[in-house]
Structure 1
Amino acid sequence: MGRILKALVLLLLLGFVALVGFAYLGDLRPDRQEVRQPVTLDAD
């Protein structure tokens, strides 16, 4: 039972380190593009 608990703790730690590494090193910026659309105003 102790081996399973140690393996689970190790996997949790490795997962946390991988998540933090991806958050800092991963390219999570959205693609940006300019959008132009004509607008009709009803000004009397």
Structure 2
Amino acid sequence: MMSVLLSLFSLDIKISGALLVFHIYFPFQLFKPMNNILFH
């Protein structure tokens, strides 16, 4: 039972970590072309 909880917990950490990376990285990818257009 404990190992199942631990594996779920580590999976949850991986998912939240991936979401965090996505939320930080993706807006930069979106704003980079906009910045190039605005500040050229």
Q: TM-score, normalised by structure 2?
A: 0.62
Give 1:28 shift: 4.6
Separation (CA, whole Å) in 1 of partners of 2:16 and 2:4 = 18
Q: Among all aligned residue pairs of Structure 1 and Structure 2, give the percentage whose two residues are the same amino acid.
A: 28
Give the greater-gyration-radius structure (CA). 1
Gaps of 5+ in 2: 32-40
Q: Give 1 or 2: higher helix fraction.
A: 2
Q: TM-score, normalised by structure 1?
A: 0.57
Taking the TM superposition and a 5 Å limit, the aligned residue runs for 1:1-44 are: 1-26=1-26, 27-28=29-30
Gaps of 5+ in 1: 30-44
Give 1:23 shift: 0.6
CA-based RMSD = 1.3
